[in-house]
Amino acid sequence: MSDTFNRTGVQPAPRPAGGLSFGALARRPEMGSFLGMVIVFAFFAVFGGINFVSAGGTASWLNVASEIGIVALPVGLLMIAGELDISIGSVIPAASMTVAIVSGTFELPLILGVAAALGLGLLVGLINGVLVIRTGVPSLIVTLGSLFAVAGLTLGLSVIITGSTGVPIQAGPVGKAILGQFIAGIFQVTILWWLLAIAVVGFLLHVSRWGNWVFALGGDKVSARNEGIPIDRLVIQLFMGSGFAAAFVGVSQAILYNSAQVSTGQSFIFNSIISVVIGGVLLTGGFGSVIGIVFGTITFAIVNQGIFYTGFDANWASLIIGVLLLLAVLLNNTFRKAALNYSPRKAK
């Protein structure tokens, strides 16, 4: 089995001497999500008018995509490995409250608050991973339990410590510049962190041997274990990565908006999963790519924000969003099936 097969889930067609053929390009697993993104963007560019394609309109969906995207990348890795983490919905507000309480209420240095918040995310991920391995309970159930447990702890401790469910925090200029600044007044600095995350996760999944392990885990866990892949350690690493990313987003939100709320974060559960699925990752595991997840995240963000730039009745907004997202997923499934059914011999 070739490395390319392991990393993409599809045995590619031979590359012609003149370069990658259009037929082979069309069968790339990311092609469906890319076309879906283009179609959705064109739809809102037409019906949203000049405001949607302006710098402000572009910033509106890029800012949303960056926050969802940072979480969607490790969630996508987990799904490729055949696992799922919905505890991110509670880790995000828990991390926000942690940094706000440590560096806001107690006025300790911001770096300590950020470290505590990120450490919390890693701890939740570690607990999730260990429980999944030791109990054999599906990760959906394990992380559902941790979702409610972390939410309860966040609410209870926040009220005990601060007497409120909302805590203000004023980060210094350095903290603002790194995590909570608007570039050109409209683009969140989180976009740069998202690009860095794309590069790092892309290398890990598609270049390193570790990425082959992730695909192998999602394809056949028993075979992967028999091949000597450290399954237990890999699962824990994946869950810790998910917790860390969720905590990072929580920290950036607290610093960006100068406050933390215990009620934020729940929307990230479905938004990140939807983005990953639109990007072509199978819920059953073993198939997907980082660039596909990026395209899926952008598609979801465009639909989510683009509807406000159209003249459509707001009562129909959910229907339009649902239909467009469904069409994007169906298009992506069509290309994935074509890629899986493609035979190099038939192309000759």
Q: Phi and psi dihedrals of 116, rounded to 5?
A: -65, -40
**324 versus 178: which is more confidently predicted?**
178
- State residue 334's pLDDT score: 77
- State residue 287's pLDDT score: 86
Q: How confident is the model at residue 8 (pLDDT cuts 50, 70, 90)?
A: very low
The secondary structure element, H or E, covering residue 261 is strand 259-261
The residue assigned the tokens 């990425």 is: 211
Average pLDDT of the segment spanning 163-182: 93
- pLDDT for residue 264 is more than 90: no
SS (H, E, C) 215-232: HHHHHCHHHHHHCCCCHH
DSSP state of 307: G
- State residue 342's pLDDT score: 58
- For the stretch 313-342, pLDDT in tens is 777 777 877 887 788 778 777 777 776 665
Average pLDDT of the segment spanning 84-108: 97
Q: How far is CA 210 from the centre of its chain?
A: 19
**11 versus 224: which is more confidently predicted?**
224
- pLDDT for residue 123 is more than 80: yes
- State residue 27's pLDDT score: 63
Contact predicate 282/273, CB 8 Å: no
| Distance, CA of 74 to CA of 69 (rounded, Å) | 9
- pLDDT for residue 347 is more than 80: no
Phi-psi region of 230 (alpha: psi -120 to 50; beta: other; left: phi over 0): beta
- pLDDT for residue 34 is more than 70: yes
Average pLDDT of the segment spanning 32-44: 90
Q: Enter the CATH code of domain 30-335.
A: 1.10.3470
- State residue 25's pLDDT score: 60
Q: How confident is the model at residue 10 (pLDDT cuts 50, 70, 90)?
A: very low
Torsion, CA 217, CA 23, CA 34, CA 290, rounded to 10: 30
Tokens of 280: 């072509």
Contact predicate 213/58, CB 8 Å: no
- pLDDT for residue 106 is more than 60: yes
- State residue 29's pLDDT score: 64
Closest CA to 246 of 113, 129, 96: 96
Measured at the CA of 59, the angle between CA 57 and CA 63, to 5 degrees, comes to 130
- State residue 204's pLDDT score: 97
Closest CA to 154 of 115, 126, 121: 121
